[in-house]
Chains A and B, each alone.
Chain A
């Protein structure tokens, strides 16, 4: 225990069962809110208090609780200043108080004569100084906590009874304690006290929380593990123990990246749906093991929230672990019940499997004419036709990039990848879309490479997920993503941080990851153009012009590529510089970003950056034609021209091989000629022909830089600071431009 500097505050909101998915978020909001309330209310001690160290969050389906340890028992005294009108407006020329001064004094409850002169950022004003605060924590909290709780939002809220209050679920009790004293307040019409309730099975009598520090213990005595972390640990230990007793391990959910151990998502969910976990180990008939592993594991976890077990990876056992909310199952009723229900669920799954298999996958695909992809964008059958066109554009790019891809299998996979949307299995388990298609393709004895491509084409499902395992799957995934992105942007829908109903951030990030991590070389602009043209045949109600959709989708890609680059490289401006040159080929972009980052540590890097900035400053945005070597007069400019012509093929060759470090070294070699040029040549000559020719020469040099990066995006001299401000104007270069 740390030495106590002040009292502890405990708030517990007792409710009916809160949805498991909302508990963590609510506790975070409550803890953050409490922390900032304590801060603004000046109830935090001068030192030693940190939100993470001193504010505990506890929660379970029937309670949300926060505890702040060691706050002030009252606010420190402070002098409060209330500022009124400026002195000039408060007194007239004769020094008599104006109406403004009188009004202010009246509002503050003081005599005009008592107004003082206060120095403020907006000049000298009249004002009032009084001793403020010293309010007791008790009083402050009882006033502020109800507003804090009222400000909590949940994904779905409700009203109950007379209908006058709104919260995530009805509130039944409130514990609000400052050490041993009840903080008097009321939440949704429920008055605070020091009485809580235990587990439903522990009976309905009230239990007393004498002191915030006793909270966890008292609840534990009444069958509640209120600490979510401890509860998760308890379940983890129980399921591991039960699995070990059977010589088995917890199976990972289908679709998890290879190598995933256990099922953390399910663990998280069950953690927040129980107050006192007890793991039930049961079994089902071995005859169900003829169902594919993916279907079995999903049937267990989707509806029954049960963990599957496997002996060796991929070999599921006819066993399951369910997490009950009880102290035990002495009569075995819970195990028998779960086994009974599971039998029904597995029978359902087998029924779906058999029904779906009555038609082969291509027959299911035929039904896609009647399945809507998007109400304005038409059916899935249409989407497939567009995707086939896209696949024809993507396949050659894979081959050019040296990826061996079975084109026939990829085309077959595109034709069939959405067929599982018409199956009963996917209607029952939407999380298995794609996977089910792959399984049915295998069962139909379709070519394995096509089946594998269907199975994997939703990958990567998120930033952490694995890429599609085969090039064919990557082709399908890209065609699918590009088509959806183009369609949604054609509707004029641009996702924002808070609103992304079609999951386009994830979709675009997935495209970028596939291209850059699988080293596929292609032009994004061309691919997006092709995807948009795919919609050309139909007139879409409310659509924006394709050029506009293309521009905004490319801009959206820029944001995602920036994000992806920053995740891989610490320097924001390296990514911006690389993006500034070009973003059309995400793999190339990644290599350039790496080259810039690698060169940054070398001192010569700054020379490069300054040179590029200097040239850009002279060129501004003006359009100039390429220079004509015949017009070059001075030796310094002819020397630069020679250097440029010598460097160009070398840089082109390095670029071709993606050896950008070498390209940068070639550019760097131009430094002496460039320095001499700036020293000896007046760019802004009187003669417009000479002037434009010199500008043209400089543009040629800038063109070399821009094959790698826009170095003017790089912040120099600021040291290795990630996220340095974007430099807008740079000082060097003005002299030449102004001459």
Chain B
């Protein structure tokens, strides 16, 4: 038997703490991916060095399957790492991290297969790979090139582990809900009801008129806060817009033509946040940059 689900997360946390990453916690506003956590979205901007690792419960309403599909869930647990600037030996570090959950790369076929990433809502794009182990995608590995519409310098490496998949693979489990979370407790015990109810909510029950109204209000509030120089609160509203849009889309309430408009509106808010965040950090004199300069160069 391989590591259970929580041992897997613990192993990754321990490994990346050892690599000098700040262990952050999940964000408490709904996100669709670990990338949307402020500790990724903002920290990759500007010159300040940064290393962070956290588990990111990610909500993707359209992926809900009422708990019926053995591989797909509405909410999954990404494990997210940011290394800024990307160190020259980042691939080697990554390969070593696999040993955190008991994988010896010498026994497996590990491949870096081209897979670029783009998020129109965040104005973000990156170049990289999906990492395949014996034919299964276990991670996304991305060199961020742009975020919030801003060309990045230096470049961050983002590593995202698909925790459920790795856990299933390690344990030879064919259904995610059978994966052991903790001794005697399965992933299904912890999450099945949530999957069923949120699938119903997202596909059938969510109140479209309310969500449309909320989207408008979140957007207006975000733009207002931005004008007050409250970048991080404004960004929370961008995240709320994004999630509201995702639910509306799952609900089938957004036509193809409307879709572009919604994405543009979220993007405008996110891009504004990115721009003002950078200004705010500059006004503070990029504190983490000063500290890095004062210390010895990064290993």
Interface residues of A in 327-355 (CB under 8 A from B): 329, 331, 333-334, 336-338, 340-344, 347-348, 351
Complex CA distance for A341 and B134, rounded to whole angstroms: 8
Is the Cβ of A161 less than 8 Å from the Cβ of B255? no
Whether A306 and B256, one on each chain, are in contact in the complex, defined by CB atoms closer than 8 angstroms, is no
The reply on A20 being an interface residue by CB < 8 A is: yes
B282 lies within 8 A of chain A by Cβ: no
**Interface hit among B6-14, B85-93, B202-210:** B85-93
B153 on interface, CB distance cutoff 8 Å: yes
Query: Is the CB–CB distance between A16 and B106 below 8 Å?
Result: no
Among A159, A161, A326, point to the contact of B145 (Cβ < 8 A): A159
CA distance A371 to B157 in the complex (A): 37
Residue of A nearest to B84 (CB): A161
Contact, CB under 8 Å: B135 / A337: yes
**Contact residue among B91, B92, B133 (Cβ-Cβ distance under 8 Å from A337):** B133
The distance in angstroms between the C-alpha atoms of A172 and B255, with both chains bound, is 47
**Cβ A333 vs Cβ B134 within 8 A:** yes
Contact of A372 with B by CB under 8 A: yes
Closest residue of A by beta carbon distance from B157? A160
Is B198 among interface residues, defined by CB-CB distance under 8 A? no
Given A61-B112, A159-B143, A273-B113: A16 in contact with B91 (beta carbons within 8 A): yes
Task: Report Cα–Cα, A337/B132, bound state, in Å.
Answer: 11
Tally inter-chain residue pairs, CB-CB below 8 A: 111
Known: A17-B112, A324-B109, A343-B174. Contact between A160 and B155, CB under 8 A?
A: yes
Query: Which A residues touch B256, using CB under 8 A?
Result: 370-372
Interface size on B, residues (CB 8 A): 40
State whether the Cβ of A679 lies closer than 8 Å to any Cβ in chain B: no
User: For the complex, is B129 an interface residue (Cβ under 8 Å from A)?
Assistant: yes
A243 within 8 A of B: no
Q: Within 8 Å of chain A (Cβ to Cβ): is B225?
A: no
Q: Which residues of B contact A163 (CB under 8 A)?
A: 85, 152-155
Residues of B within 8 A of A280 (CB): 109
Q: Would you give the shortest CB distance from B208 to chain A, in whole angstroms? A: 16
Question: How far does the alpha carbon of A306 sit from the alpha carbon of B132 in the complex, in Å?
Answer: 13
Q: Which residues on B sit within 8 Å (CB–CB) of A162?
A: 85, 153-155
**Given known contacts A156-B127, A160-B86, A348 and B71 CB-to-CB distance under 8 angstroms:** yes
A208 within 8 A of B: no
Binary contact readout A104-141 vs B (1 if CB under 8 angstroms, 0 otherwise): 00000000000000000000000000000000000000
Given A322-B135, A370-B255, A375-B257, also A334-B108 (CB < 8 A): yes
Asked if A304 and B135 make an inter-chain contact with CB atoms under 8 angstroms apart, the answer reads yes
Please, how many angstroms separate the alpha-carbon atoms of A170 and B157 in the complex? 12
Complex Cα–Cα for A343 and B168 (A): 13
Whether B155 and A159, one on each chain, are in contact in the complex, defined by CB atoms closer than 8 angstroms, is yes
List CB contacts (< 8 Å) of A496-546 with chain B.
none
State in angstroms the CA–CA spacing of A351 and B66 once bound together. Answer: 14
Q: Does A334 contact B257, Cβ atoms closer than 8 Å? A: no
Partner of B136, one of A16, A159, A170, A341: A341
Complex Cα spacing A16 to B105, Å: 17
Q: Contact mask B71-104 → A, CB, 8 Å, 1/0?
A: 1000000000000011110011001000000000
Cβ of B169 and Cβ of A340 under 8 Å apart? yes
Residues of A close to B88: CB separation below 8 A = 161, 170, 172
B38 CB–A CB distance under 8 Å: no
Which residues of B lie under 8 Å from residue A33 when comparing CB positions?
none
Tell me if B111 counts as interface (CB < 8 A to partner A): yes
Among residues of A, the one whose C-beta sits closest to the C-beta of B174 is: A343
A617–B195 CA distance with the chains assembled, in angstroms: 82
- For A190, give the chain B residue with the smallest CB separation: B88
CA distance A732 to B143 in the complex (A): 70
Q: Which parts of A143-161 form the interface with B (CB within 8 Å)?
A: 156-161
Closest Cβ–Cβ distance, residue A565 to chain B (whole Å): 39
B264 at the interface (CB under 8 A from A): no
Residues of A within 8 A of B106 (CB): 201
B70 near A: Cβ within 8 Å? yes
A331-B107, A337-B134 are known contacts. Are A161 and B169 too (CB-CB below 8 A)?
no
Q: How far is the CA of A344 from the CA of B257 in the complex (A)?
A: 34
Give the residue name and chain of the B residue nearest to A274 (CB): B111
Whether B233 is near chain A, meaning CB under 8 Å from some CB there, is no
Q: Is A601 part of the contact surface with B, judged by Cβ < 8 Å?
A: no
Q: Which residues of A contact B136 (CB under 8 A)?
A: 337, 340-341, 344
Chain B residues with Cβ below 8 Å from A371 are: 256
Most-contacted residue by chain A among B85, B87, B145 (CB, 10 A): B145
Q: Are B135 and A341 in contact (CB under 8 A)?
A: yes
**Known: A160-B86, A337-B136. Is A204-B92 also a contact (CB below 8 A)?**
yes
Residues 1-26 of A contacting B (Cβ, < 8 Å)? 16-17, 19-21
Task: List, sorted by A's number, 18 A–B pairs whose CB atoms are closer than 8 Å.
Answer: A16-B112, A158-B127, A159-B153, A161-B85, A162-B85, A162-B153, A273-B111, A325-B109, A325-B110, A325-B111, A326-B108, A334-B107, A337-B169, A340-B134, A340-B169, A341-B134, A348-B71, A372-B256
Interface residues in chain A, defined as those with a beta carbon under 8 Å from any beta carbon in chain B:
16-17, 19-21, 61, 156-163, 170, 172, 200-201, 204, 273-274, 280, 304-306, 322, 324-326, 329, 331, 333-334, 336-338, 340-344, 347-348, 351, 370-372, 375
- Further 18 A-B residue pairs, CB within 8 A, beyond A161-B85, A325-B109: A17-B112, A61-B112, A157-B127, A159-B143, A160-B86, A161-B154, A162-B85, A162-B155, A163-B85, A170-B86, A280-B109, A306-B135, A329-B109, A331-B107, A333-B107, A336-B134, A338-B134, A347-B70
Task: Name B residues whose Cβ lies closer than 8 Å to a Cβ of A.
Answer: 69-71, 85-88, 91-92, 95, 105-114, 116, 127, 129, 133-136, 143, 145, 152-155, 157, 169, 172, 174, 255-257
Q: Which 3 A-B pairs have the closest CB atoms?
A: A337-B134, A19-B114, A324-B109
